[in-house]
Structure 1
Amino acid sequence: MSNPVSNGAGLDENLANQEVDFKGGKLSLADDASPFFTPNDPKDESVMNVDIPSLRRANSICGRTETTPLPDTIQDCFFAGKRGRMEEAVNDCKQKVLTESDGKVQGVWLLTEVDHWDNEKEKLVMLTEKMLVVVKYDFVVERIKESKKILLNMVHSVQSGLFEYPEKTLVKPRDGMGVKLSWNKGQEPGLAQLWNPWSQTIPWIVLTSHPLQHTARDAKTYKVDAFQNAIVQAIKTATGDSNLNVQEAPLRFTIHIGLSSTVFNQSRIGFSRERGGVSF
């Protein structure tokens, strides 16, 4: 199959505790270079002078490793967190999106997709034996809006790390870790694709944890690290463990102004929520 991604027709830590040394405003990690790390002991003087809002690298800036929980009044407005909504969504997608040829379902998560314009969008992610299925699901009216399938044997790279932006960006760096799956074989998309915020042909997907990770009963369903472990293993199984590049490195976003994404993300337009008595 030449096209690794198919759009649905009409369907719309075992982390090694790395020591972090900050010198001259740059971030260097002891041992192997890795964005994964845990906060050092508060007494460690190498961390006392860190720029708290973000982590700085040469000519760039990254968000924090951990996200801050939203206030309860905001968390309660996510329809996905209401009792029974996730279960109904998963059953709906299994019946209307998945086919027998996709293979058995290996796992289901509700995550946040960060598109190439830095917009955050709530996505139901289903991992099968052969496919990664990404669904935009409206939890308000309980309806599938769109879906796409990514062949596991076409994914050649799994990259995980902090979100990185240009040093002079006006965007507040996103906190938390992200996972990027790529199937472009090193070929970058053209300007027409990159400049189109609605492009469906970008040959990668970036996912991070859902805000409900801090309050939901089954927190792992909303955490990207649980998804990362499963997707790496599934790809290796589907491909016979051949040529999959798994790396830890910051996820670079070349967003300098980001006015539209800032408004989009702060308003949480990409999520199914209740807004002043109106739900969308």
Structure 2
Amino acid sequence: MATASVGGVAPGSGTPGFGAGLHDSSDSAILTGVDVISPITSPVPTDSNTNRDRTVLPSHSVPYANEDPRDYFCHRNGLVESAFEECISTLIFPHEDGDVVGSWILTEISFWDTEKERIVILTTMAIIIVKYDFIAMKKKEFKRIPLGEVDTMVIGLLVYPPLSVVPSRNMNGIRIMWNKGKPLNFLKRWNPFDKDIPFITYSCHPLFWHKGDQNESAKEMYNVDSFSEKLVNTVEQLNSNCKVHNASIVLQNYVGLTSLMHNKTSLGFFKVRGNFSY
């Protein structure tokens, strides 16, 4: 089993963290499109257990630096913790899911490059993903992914194809795949309403960059590196057939005006927006 290296930098911070380093061919991959991880067009390369270069993200381009953290409802004291408790008590079944390993609130990036705020609960047997309304304080929908079905995980820098005009994200992420190496068919690739996509991609929640070092425990629940580390360790104990790679994660978006508008206005997050909240 290929394993991810523990190294690299925490997303956007310039400090050591888990799984942020890219493999040796990452620079050429970003420039040429060769060996970039894409579930649509590219096979997953085989990793060796060699040390990988550590890449420091530019400190002058911190994601979400201009956001006001107070606009996010999940910024309010105790709301995320209460949501975690509710989701765990109502959605986790020990005989089916096993023990709870950890809970996070992360940014899910859809196949169409739209950002969505999600609660992610990791157990010893599954990942439970919850769309949670932090205004009404209730669950809206959820999805359960058995860890035994996960066949590939990729940890690394989120990038766009070489010809894309979409601004770079300058952040790390994780892609979790259960597609058995098969590309998406034509209908799934072009149907934005299809929710049965056999992989998911996560990055840090915007509030990760607004939590100071003095509150590391609160910061960790927004940190995709923390989730990645716990997930890799859990899957290794459960499913030895799952391959873990350190490589660039390509987001197939070339122009993406719809996704740019969606992400710029944070429509996938529960926020205060002037006189309205949604």
Task: Give the TM bin, normalised by the shorter chain.
Answer: 0.7 to 0.9
CA gap 1:184/1:69 in 2 versus in 1, 3 angstroms: closer
Deviation per residue, 1:104-154 (Å, 9 max, x gap): 110001110000000010110000110101111111111111110000011
Alignment partner, residue 187 of structure 1: 182
Alignment partner, residue 24 of structure 2: 33
Higher share in strand: 1
Which sits farther off after the overlay, 91-100 or 218-227? 91-100
Alignment partner, residue 222 of structure 2: 222
Q: 2:146 aligns with which of 146, 151, 160?
A: 151
Deviation at 1:96, TM superposition (A): 2.3
Deviation per residue, 1:66-123 (Å, 9 max, x gap): 6615357621101111001011111111122222221111000111000000001011
Which structure exhibits the higher relative contact order, with contacts defined as CA atoms closer than 8 Å and separated by 6 or more residues? 2
Deviation at 1:244, TM superposition (A): 1.7
Amino acid aligned to 1:124: I
Structure 1: how far apart are the matches of 2:262 and 2:238?
36
CA gap 1:35/1:271 in 2 versus in 1, 3 angstroms: farther
Alignment partner, residue 32 of structure 2: 58
Deviation per residue, 1:221-260 (Å, 9 max, x gap): 1111111110011111122xx2221111111122111000
Structure 1: how far apart are the matches of 2:121 and 2:87?
9
| Runs of at least 4 residues off by over 6 Å | none
The SS at the match of 1:111 is strand
1:128 aligns with 2:123: yes
Alignment partner, residue 170 of structure 1: 165
The SS at the match of 2:183 is coil
Q: Whose radius of gyration is greater, 1 or 2?
A: 1
The SS at the match of 2:117 is strand
Q: Assess if the C-alpha contact under 8 Å between 2:30 and 2:248 holds in 1.
A: no
Q: Assess if the C-alpha contact under 8 Å between 2:22 and 2:157 holds in 1.
A: no
Deviation at 1:179, TM superposition (A): 0.3
Q: Which runs of 5+ in 1 are unaligned?
A: 1-12, 18-29, 37-54
Alignment partner, residue 270 of structure 1: 268
Amino acid aligned to 1:238: L
Deviation per residue, 1:149-180 (Å, 9 max, x gap): 00001111110111221222221121200100
Q: 2:250 aligns with which of 246, 249, 252?
A: 252
The SS at the match of 1:172 is coil
Structure 1: how far apart are the matches of 2:63 and 2:161?
25
Deviation per residue, 1:208-231 (Å, 9 max, x gap): 011111223311111111111100
Fraction of identical pairs, as percent: 31
Q: Which runs of 5+ in 2 are unaligned?
A: 10-20, 37-55
Alignment partner, residue 87 of structure 1: 81
CA gap 1:88/1:157 in 2 versus in 1, 3 angstroms: same
Alignment partner, residue 114 of structure 2: 119
CA gap 1:277/1:109 in 2 versus in 1, 3 angstroms: same
CA gap 1:145/1:130 in 2 versus in 1, 3 angstroms: same
Alignment partner, residue 198 of structure 1: 193
